[in-house]
Amino acid sequence: MSGLGGLNKSPNGVVIGLVQLQLPNVVTADDLTVQCDRICQMVAKARRNLPAMDLAVFPEYSLHGLSMDTNPEIMCRLDGPEVAAFQKACQDHRIWGCFSIMEYNPHGNPYNSGIIIDDTGELKLYYRKLHPWIPVEPWEPGNLGIPVCEGPNGSTIALIICHDGMFPEMARECAYKGAEIMIRTAGYTAPIRHSWQITNQANAFCNLMYTASVCMCGSDSTFDSMGEGMIVNFDGTPLVMGSDRPDEIITAEVRPDLVREARIHWGVENNIYQFGHRGYVAVKGGAQDCPYTYMQDLVNGCYRLPWEDAVIHKDGTACGFPPPTRTYEERGVRSEGRGKAGKS
């Protein structure tokens, strides 16, 4: 059920609007200002579009377009004018918003970052994309983990970005930290359509969690983004699926209280619980070991595929980027808790 796209909001509901924003072409600082203003205008449209809407979600690359330009003049900062404009728009229109920025990084390549702002203009969640779409994207790998925050109507929300959603471990981490709604913003183009749909559904079902996902839309005369706003129920069933029409806002009501109920009461296919309690019918509490070699190797810094030496693409040279010369060094502050309010 989607409450007729959120027209009939229930007391426990959260109405989400996925903005299939027209793909821009941003080259200069002036272009960035114009596009920022346009996004703020779309926040106002979202509020006018549906008075019951709680959260408007804008796609990855909605501010910068798909050029992959790392020019410092068009990079953003958390304390910069673009984020301030988004905060004011959310406050003025009394609506939550999820936004995308390419974030200046003084230590290397920019970060591909996402933020969630509440209806008072307060920054509630700040995330840096963990898995850039290599070899196409030049962004620095994220270093803040996967935070969750308290969202509208007492919900718990996580945000991942585009290619992140192709890794089932990402959605599992969101759910493990308590997320009832996982947002996935993207700039994907049409060749990814099938993968987009099945991963959005699988991420929902495997974790008893709503997924709300949206891409950029339309053409910038070079790339064609696909739109495809999609909200999936926690049983993996799509509640609503968007088209390829730019600037369309796809809406639905989700019920986090039903997620909580399922996670407590489901027996069969309560996968997020059963993953850590293998065979609890036979063994008290289930087996709680880690039988997965790849997890152990990743933690120990020795992740290596059997076909590792044969892999062709190991840097961005195929897409015109020079080979990197520095190794990864984790930066930033990571919280060790599983709390809300944007903590890891």
Full pLDDT tens readout for the chain, 344 residues = 677 889 999 999 999 999 999 999 999 999 999 999 999 999 999 999 999 999 999 999 999 999 999 999 999 999 999 999 999 999 999 999 999 999 999 999 999 999 999 999 999 999 999 999 999 999 999 999 999 999 999 999 999 999 999 999 999 999 999 999 999 999 999 899 999 999 999 999 999 999 999 999 999 999 999 999 999 999 999 999 998 899 999 999 999 999 999 999 999 999 999 999 999 999 999 999 999 999 999 999 999 999 999 999 999 999 999 999 999 976 544 433 333 445 54
Which tokens go with 319?
């897409």
Which tokens go with 78?
């958390």
> What is the predicted pLDDT for the residue at 341?
43
CA distance 117 to 293: 39
> What is the predicted pLDDT for the residue at 39?
98
> What is the predicted pLDDT for the residue at 337?
35
Domains parsed from the chain with CATH numbers: 3-274 (3.60.110.10)
SS3 assignment, position 332: coil
CA distance 72 to 75: 5
> What is the predicted pLDDT for the residue at 121?
98
CA distance 184 to 155: 16
Whole-structure pTM value: 0.94
Residue 208's nearest CA partner among 177, 238, 175, 161 is 175
CA distance 297 to 172: 19
Rounded (10°) angle between helices 168-176 and 193-205: 30
CA distance 332 to 142: 9
CA within 13 Å, CB half, 65:
25
Q: How many CB atoms lie within 10 A of CB 81?
A: 12
Q: What are the distances in angstroms from CA 80 to CA 86, 233, 281?
A: 10, 36, 55
One-letter amino acid of 166: M
Give bridge partners of residue 112 from the DSSP assignment: 102
Catalytic residues: 60, 129, 162
